[in-house]
Structure 1
Amino acid sequence: MASLTAVFWIFFLVTVTSETAVAQPDDLNMIPLGSSLFPVTQPTAWYSRSKRFAFGFFQTGEGYKVEIRIVGSGNGITVWTFNRDEPAVSSNATLDFVNGKLQLKHGNQYQTIADHPSKSALSACLLDSGNFVLYDENHALLWQSFEFPTDTILGGQILYSGKELISSLSQDDQSSGLFHLKMEYSGNLVAYRVDVTSETYWGPFNVSYSNNSQLILDNFTGTLSLIEPSDSSLVQVLTSAISRIRGNIYRATLGYDGNFRLYTHSFDAVTLQFKMRTEWEAIDDLCDIKGICGFNSYCTSKDMEWNCSCIPGFNFIRDLSSLSINIYGCEKNFTGGMCINGKEDAARNSMTPVSILGEDRPYFQEYQGNQDDCMKSCSEDCDCDAATYSDLHCSRYRLPLMYLRNATFTLSIAFIKSPNPQNDHLKKEVSWLTFFAMSLSFVTYSSVVLACFGIFMFKFHVLKYKKLLLQTRTTGLIKEFTLQTYTYNELKKATKGFRQELGKGAFGAVHRGSFDKGKSFVAVKRLEKVVEEGEREFRAEMRAIGRTRHRNLVQLLGYCIEGPKRLLVYELMVNGSLADLLFKGRLHPNWNDRVQIALDIARGILYLHEGCEAPIIHCDIKPQNILLDQFWTAKISDFGLAKLLMPDQTRTDTGARGTRGYMAPEWNKNIPISVKVDVYSFGIVLLEIICCRRNLQVNLAIPEATLLSGWAYQCFAAKELDKLVSWEEVDKTAFERVLKVALWCIQDEPALRFPMKIVLRMLEGLVDVPIPPCPSDE
């Protein structure tokens, strides 16, 4: 009986607190219509009656942002920020309470901070709770900042179902960070890192599986509780009561490091300032947060200090001196051995034992007799970057590795593929010997070379000029890339006289071949056009993919150059093209498989645009150029039309290239093109994937459905998506989300198309997809 009374008392407290969070306005502290704030000149802020909170302009870096802060300690503590992810405004901006709404003016732009959709506000007020509110003429509440939290809730504030706190990027940057604390509609309170996984690292907590559950911070006792308003018996107290001292300010903030903390701000009568004290932390050890250190980095903790370290052979992606923990991860600082027929030159690498625990899923697992065999199998596997040996089983992993932390003891033995320390010594020895040999040769034969050079130039300059020019160009390519070389006869034998044709393109056919007595299979592209066009195609593909390596790009294994003959050797994609899968088969792939294919293509394009030393524009993204391997992984092929940009270049002038129906509008406008042409082509392909039909299809029962890109937007605008797909096999919410992504990709104006990084995150469900406008300006 006593426990029920305590529960009821807690519920009564939080209920009273929530009801009084929006207090009656104080006429002496009221902000009337026509009031304004300025970044530099007074007034710069409006204050609560007790002067504990300020609402107005605060300097952040070189600009100003509209924030609510707890004042009295240094520059104050930010508890709410307007448009936190947009750039700060200049000192010429103004904040105006006019026309029944609060607006931010900077330059010629107006942004509404607070208003009501159907009523005009007559007054505003910053309450002593830190809640900024708007009232109508009857003092009825129209808007309050408490309903739009950023990373903090204050005493008396409620985090309703569907609402979330998003951490800041760093101590000094209030932009949205990587960690979310969400009060889900399912009734669960969970914390997770948004760019890593949907798995939670704290929670779930719940009092009921309804969409009415709420998280509230009591403004009198500092208690954090989960409640179900419709049932007073359903209360879960997360923190115990702190104090009952009137005047204390309680603040619960999701920190930039992902930890949810409860603070007390109490007034010191001696120093006339507020003192801040940490009362409670959700996570005792930050290393328990999955993915806290980002890609390829592991977390260590000692004596309440936390640190992120890169695995051997890796460096931090960028230096963030303002962060005590680098949350962006690490990248390779070395180049692995050359891959030939799926095997890597193991001498270039070293398998380094590490005392690191991980929860990443291996891409391959097999029985191994001992750990040495496990190390060797990973060292020779081109796709393997790490391995663990446990219980006579060897597990192999690809980068990136996400769930790592330091471990003092583990039954598993972990290895990371890192640079071989002997390589530097060997390179020095080889370089010294090479220099000595070259010097000796130069001294001994210099006179002979000079004499022969004159004869050679006289005899062959005219007759062999074109051949010499061609060989000079291809020699540059050979030096630039490290690939397997084949003779024409080897490839002719491997393809049995080029008998089995897999497909035919504009510049030649692709044939199936095999080596090692049928143990390894390849695809051989034989360029059959005239020399000039074939050479241009050959050079384009070599330059575009000679240095690229990604699981969603078809791997180039080698080449052949013999006279006018030009052949390229690729890994064999046994399941054909995406066009065959979508348009020729009687059965379409299921929805999940189609989404996975779309994600594979998006990752491949993102790598071309942002993962290479210089951006690559593919210029011909279409289903025919998307191939599927034995595991149905989609890979981008056919780089014959690709365009390379300089490292600092974003646009380039070039003639029209690509396939009609997939070409972006700017190709026909004779203007510089950018990587956005690939985004447009991907949007068309994405529509074809989710609707399982070609973009252009004639003889349909509905004439306006002939062009899928236009028809898709009509159905979306009319909310008639059932005309595009059958709901029996497709999740309606997921289909609408992917459709909106596709419509953003095919916007006529390149600036409206999101970059592939954002497109991929929207497809993965990590970023909300806004409502797209009509793709065509016409």
Structure 2
Amino acid sequence: MASTVQVQLLVTAILCVSRRCLASSDTISASSAVSGGRTVVSRGGSFEVGFFRINASSSRNGSCYYVGIWYKKAVSPCTPVWIANRAAPVADRATSRLAIAADGNLVLINEADELVWSTNVSSTAAAGAGSNGTVAVILDTGNLVLRRKNDVDEVVLWQSMDHPTDTWLPGARLGLNKVTGEAQVLTAWKNSGDPAPGVFSLGIDPAGTSQYFIVWNRTVPYWASGEWNGDIFAGIPEMTSHYMYNFEFVSDANGSYFTYSLQDPAIISRLVVGVSGQITQLTWAPSADEWILIWTEPHRLCDVHAVCGAFAVCDEKSEPLCSCLAGFRAASPGDWDLGDHTKGCRRNTQLQCASTSTAAVTGDKDDDDFLLIPGVSPPKNPSFVRASGDRDCRSACLMDCSCNAYTYGDRCAMWHGDLLNLQRQTDEDAGAGNLYLRLSAMDVPSKSSKKTIALACAGAAAALVVALFAMAFVLVRMVRRRRSMRFAQALERGNLVAFRYSDVRRATKNFSEKLGGGSFGSVYKGKLPGAGGADAAVAVKKLEGLRSDMGDKQFRNEVRTIGTIHHVNLVRLRGFCSGRGGERLLVYDYMPNGSLDKALFGKSAAAAAVLSWGARYQIAVGAARGLLYLHLGCRDCIIHCDIKPENILLDGALVAKVADFGLAKLVGRDFSRVLTTVRGTIGYLAPEWISGVPVTAKADVYSFGMVLLEIVSGRRNARCSPGSGAGGARSEYFPLVAARKVLDGEVAGLLDERLDGEADMVELDRACRVACWCVQDEEANRPTMEQVVQALEGVIAVDVPPVPVSLKVFADDASYSYFSDECSQLKSSS
């Protein structure tokens, strides 16, 4: 009996210990510190807290450990969202510990038993708590909460979301506590390998307005959100199209803050202040196993203040983005390679600083001289001095030891101190005059030195010609490999790449694999080097029918504008090419599931699997969101002008991606003549295209309505059905059939027969009603894309639409070539 009791007690003790461990798996208490490889995980398994190291490939401090919070499930690799000791890493995680101290604070103690970090809860707030009554719990929101229980309730002493690092998670507040004066500010990492606070930060206006600023070095604001108007921030019109988010701005006597949440809790999203000074909203795509860029500000990297540091030039179309001026080199090469350009560039040779005008005129080699820097826009805020010409302006700058550059246009402009925000010019008219950079004479090539160098090079070339031939193959391989690496880095960072025609031709194997063609040209499959050595599939479009008045510079500027448009439901433009022979190419992400028309109407084996109703409905909603972003989310409204199933592509997870947006401007408005001659496209044109009245965004709404009917039915809107008797084949115009059945409440008969009735009837009725409203004759009677999205998402109710008159006319006109010719062929063959 005694032994039985002992066994029972032992089992009970084991169960108690197990339950206690299980219950405390998300908790740090006085008796359970985090050390070594031990971590704590939130109840739902979303987030994890523990020691981690920065990716060794991007960090020079591979032996440094940090305590932080990162995504536990779905996201890979380790993506930290909060770091406690971001500026003070520890060397040994086995002997370091994150624990509850005797005073109730959560602290980090390093291997030398020294305090590295603490929550710093005041003694008043923690009074009476002690280490036994205080615990730290990681929640499924990613918030690490320090709390203690008293006799009445639970008191929150500290939480990580009140002290963000570079990441803003849903549910967190970003603002200002007006009582304590404490502000929540996001601060970028120093570089990709060092999470220490960098120079870029995002926070609310300390002056008390409702707008947010991105600030350089805590002193220079270079981007503003605009003030809150009750729905969005005035400077971020993209917010109107992001229906996956719920936004809220609160301002009262206690404080002002902004917060956001997700309509679907299963979505993983975060906002990050990047090391390059841009803020980006990212969403995790499980199907692609990567983060998808939703939006970014500022749109252009070169608009970030001092993004390249001092004496460096920013060039959006090149890789790398930043390059040092002639006569300069990176001040900190290690940081520069990791994306931290804040230290800028330093001179190869220090200035002599001539003090007489005679030296300025003679340009003695032992003194300073000037080098013309072409194609670079001068910095802002110059100092102006009196000068009768370029020679006097040069002398004035040379005699001023703090003058580092000058230019002479209508007057003499000089720049003192560090040269910041230099940008490569995109227009011939950009800037004022030529920028002359001050250098040591040793770094400025003179005519005599050029002649000497030329003679020396000629002799050396004769001696090394054999060796050069031997090395040629190796050098070509190295250049190609380096160019491939630059392309891979640019594609990984999301920069728009200016490709050479030879590179695109090689990537597409001389345009051998054609994916298809359309109104704007033919599309070919290609492969470009991707991250980690793996090739990335791309789709290359050869543009045809471009405007005759469009020059190379204008083409590049227009393409760069298209390249700044990012949305989860728009095909991503990765780069472009403007060849010397007049070739114009666009490089897009490759969509493995092809276009919607192949999925709906294709006869191949790949199209044998019928799209389910759920997939179709999500494709319709996604395409609508993409169009809404083009209409309202961009700074200028973009009318697609050619919405049809062929221009809606599907990625690996069947997410809809609208393609060919923005190309109407490249081709010109007269390209509507092209559309009307392409088989099948005329069925999507709004009546105003044919009548010749000005076309608005409502033309896209009409086209979308036609596409939506095809998604429902799984067939082209106009088709022929075998008839009986003398009439033979008969014409059937599906939009008219659909409009009548919607009016009669018989939408079930409109569903694709291949689905065998398996569909959500509420969604089916909603989709059919929305489609019939979209194809109304008058623009005023059609909804906007914003209303279309809201209706498809079930946010607003949809009434029964009338039958458009034009559909009746279209169906009754037996001579209409779009379907009557096809029917006559069917009749003759039968």
Q: TM-score, normalised by structure 1?
A: 0.44
Greater per-residue helix proportion: 2
Bigger RCO of structures 1 and 2 (CA < 8 A, at least 6 apart): 2
